[in-house]
Amino acid sequence: MDFLVFFIFATLRGLNAITIKMAQKDRIKDIHDSIWFNMVFALFQVIFLFLMPPWGGYNFKLDLLILPAFFGIFFLISQVFLLRALQEGPTSLTNIVNSFQAIVPIIVGLLIWNEGISSFQMLGLILFFIVLLLFNKGSYDDGKGTKKMTLKWALFAGISAIGSGIAIIFTKQYMLTFDGFIKEYLIIYNCVILIISTPYLAIRGISGKQKFALDKGFLLYTASPALITDITNTIYMLYIARFQSAFFFPFMSVLNILSVVIMSRVLLKERISKPAYVGIILSFIAIYLLGIG
């Protein structure tokens, strides 16, 4: 049963990456567009969460609000830079770098959750930085000609991974403390994103400095990943407290990498250079090492 759940999770994560790339394409050109996307993205997630079973019986007491609120803040930061990275580089490699978000909770696991780290895991962390160097020296073809990976892309993708990794810390701590209140967590963090984004975008809109995409394609490619995200987040939270961080986060990262690389190649026709492929192979080795207890 777990195998089937993880297969579904991986497939949906790949589709999620593709749809977000489609939303970004020709519509998200700067940080303001990224914040607008994430506001609409969060709104759709809240709507779908209330439509998904189980219905009713929610518990939004005060002590449940703090951890998802912090998650929402760091997740928004991560998503903004993810969209900027997607503008600068290929979907597959951007999501591979983002998959190394596992490094942050592994380190925190040592400090907070009394989890250990082996010499193999330390080697995996070192290998990760080598992977980043290889990606930065690589190139890719998105159908419009060969492009070089840039330091700007690596910076955006790296910040996205760190932001996502910090956000995950609050998710695991929440599930260790309030196991069973999954929908509340997902609803709260998306509401926090809406609360943070609305004043900023309202000011930009009133000043006339910001245009907001609302075409059918944008709404389709925003609503689709929102529904997928609700499903994968639910799966993620169901399993996050069952395993040690050093196994769970790298394992989920491998599933994400496999799915995104395959779907980017098939659906987006992305081709990447030999150094980048070497980086992908080393990514698997690094994540495997991170997963050794």
pLDDT tens, residue by residue, 8-40? 888 888 888 888 888 777 777 778 888 888 999
pLDDT tops 60 at residue 135:
yes
Structure-block tokens of residue 63:
């002590």
Between these two residues, 136 and 280, which has the higher pLDDT value? 280
pLDDT tops 80 at residue 120:
no
What distances in angstroms separate CA 235 from CA 92, 169, 222, 229, 232, one per listed residue? 22, 17, 20, 10, 5
CA distance 129 to 65: 35
pLDDT tops 70 at residue 113:
no
Question: In a 10 Å sphere around its CB, with 0-12 CB exposed, 13-18 middle and 19+ buried, how is residue 147 labelled?
Answer: middle
CA distance 212 to 210: 7
Between these two residues, 229 and 242, which has the higher pLDDT value? 229
Give 200's pLDDT tier (boundaries 50, 70, 90): confident
Residue range 157-195, pLDDT digits in tens: 889 988 998 898 888 788 888 867 888 899 999 999 999
pLDDT tops 90 at residue 199:
no
Task: Say which residue the tokens 């207890």 belong to.
Answer: 293
Helix (H, G, I), strand (E, B) or coil at 181: coil
CA neighbours within 13 Å on the CB side: how many for 51? 10
CA 92 to centroid of chain Cα atoms: 13
Could you tell me if 196 and 265 are in contact, meaning their C-beta atoms sit under 8 angstroms apart?
no
pLDDT for residue 248: 72
Structure-block tokens of residue 206:
């009133």
| Mean pLDDT for all residues in the chain | 80
pLDDT tops 70 at residue 227:
yes
- Do you find a cis peptide bond into 53, omega within 30 degrees of 0? no
Element (H, E) at 102: none
Between these two residues, 119 and 189, which has the higher pLDDT value? 189
CA distance 209 to 207: 5
CA distance 252 to 235: 11
